[in-house]
Amino acid sequence: MTTTEQQTTMTPEQAAWFADTFEKIVSAVGGAVVGKANVIRLVVTTMLSGGHVLLEDVPGTGKTQLARSLAAAVQTSSSRIQFTPDLLPSDVTGVSILDPKTQQFEFHKGPIFASVVLADEINRASPKTQSALLEVMEEGRVTFDGVPYDVGRPFIVLATQNPIEQAGTYRLPEAQLDRFLMKTSVGYPDHNATVSILAAASTRDRAGGVTPVITGTAVVEMIELAGTVHVDAAVLEYVSRMVAETRRAENVTVGVSVRGAISLIRAAKTWAAAHGRNYVVPDDIKDLAEPVLAHRIVLDAEAEFEGATAAGAIRGVLAEIAPPTRRGGDQ
């Protein structure tokens, strides 16, 4: 490793602090979203990687509580946008209103200008309204009348869609799916978690009791710190071979893009730091391959009808491609 890399790579002490703070955030959010530690870790990893997450779930599994409790844990603003067929792009990004005093039009920011944005049932809005999210999710800004407005950092969109009820919905195009760093689901809680939730049924707002852990400014510092985690060349080659194999895999018509490969590396860096390491190991890639890559794959329609899944295709690729024999920290 060069001298420059030594100066910019996360130190073991910083990695230990990162892991400790990460677990405190997960624990705080877990007080409101009971029994879903792994899902919370994926969402926090997405936030600290500067990305966005798509939650495909049935109603009533705690998605709103997850978004609000995450915002409370990191002391940032949150908003909720209910996507409906009549929702307009300006309802998301903002609108220009004439000021009667100055006789000038002023831009009034929409609900997308928050640190944690819950885009509920995103596939119910028209493609035109869905496209209003493309720029802000990729570049962190909204352009209105030629003027760019930054949404600030941290910034994460938690979008949801119901996998069962498809009537009156618009399927998210591949270009928009590719903007989500991860896709996962909260799912129903297990028996013990359900009992715990029922015991506190009188508490309507579980997110209101979340104890703040860090500030939004500290979250930005964690995002930048995660970017300094070392990734060995052997791990980079492993990811490159993996995404290339998805393009040749059986039943796959469109494989993982380069953006998908970059997203996997970014997420793996954060995942490694969350485990107290300043370097990525092949297991980090394996842990995150499915939630980061599966939604970027387009399957052959006939194979999908017969039961093939994108997650299955990713598992097949992982079994096919041998990981590096040396760990990612060997430099």
Residue 253 has pLDDT above 60, yes or no: yes
182-184 and 147-150 as β-strands: parallel, antiparallel, unpaired?
unpaired
- What predicted TM-score, i.e. pTM, was given to this entire model? 0.89
Averaged pLDDT, 317-325: 89
DSSP state of 212: P
Would you call 34 helix, strand, or coil by DSSP?
A: coil
User: Is 50 exceeded by the pLDDT of residue 1?
Assistant: no
Please give the Cα distance from 90 to 261 (Å, whole number).
32
Question: pLDDT value at position 38?
Answer: 93
Which position has the higher pLDDT, 293 or 176? 293
DSSP state of 297: -
Residue 54 has pLDDT above 60, yes or no: yes
pLDDT at 79 over 90: yes
In 3D space, the residue among 184, 186, 263 whose CA is nearest the CA of residue 29 turns out to be 186
Alpha helices in the chain (DSSP H): 3-8, 12-30, 37-48, 63-73, 89-93, 127-130, 132-139, 174-177, 191-199, 216-226, 233-248, 258-274, 282-293, 301-305, 310-320
Q: Of residues 163 and 64, which shows the higher confidence score?
A: 64
The model's confidence at residue 176, banded by pLDDT at 50, 70 and 90, is confident
Q: What amino acid occupies position 197?
A: I
- pLDDT of residue 4 exceeding 60, the answer is no
* Residue percentage of the chain with pLDDT more than 70: 94
The string of pLDDT tens digits covering residues 5-35 is 444 788 999 999 999 999 999 999 998 888 8
326: confidence class by pLDDT, cuts 50, 70, 90 = low
Neighbours of 173 (CB within 10 A): 12
| 275 vs 271: CA distance, rounded Å | 6
- pLDDT tops 90 at residue 158: yes
Query: What is the DSSP-derived secondary structure letter of residue 312?
Result: H
pLDDT at 331 over 60: no
DSSP, res 325: S
- 144 φ/ψ angles, rounded to the nearest 5 degrees: -130, 125
Q: Which tens digits make up the pLDDT trace of 36-46?
A: 899 999 999 99
For residue 165, the model assigns a pLDDT of 67
For residues 96 and 145, give the distance between their C-alpha atoms in angstroms, rounded to a whole number.
9
Q: How many CB atoms lie within 10 A of CB 83?
A: 23
Please report the pLDDT score of residue 209 as a whole number: 79
Count of CA atoms in the C-beta half-sphere (13 A) of 166:
4
Q: What is the pLDDT of residue 60?
A: 72
Q: Is 305 helix (H, G, I), strand (E, B) or coil?
A: helix
- Residue 281 has a pLDDT of 95
So what's the pLDDT on residue 3?
34
CA–CA separation, 76 vs 70, rounded Å? 9
Contacts of 262-265 with CB under 8 Å at 24 or more apart are 263/49, 263/51, 263/181, 263/292, 264/239, 264/288, 264/289, 264/292, 264/293, 265/231, 265/236, 265/239
- Over residues 223-233, the pLDDT tens digits come to 999 999 999 99
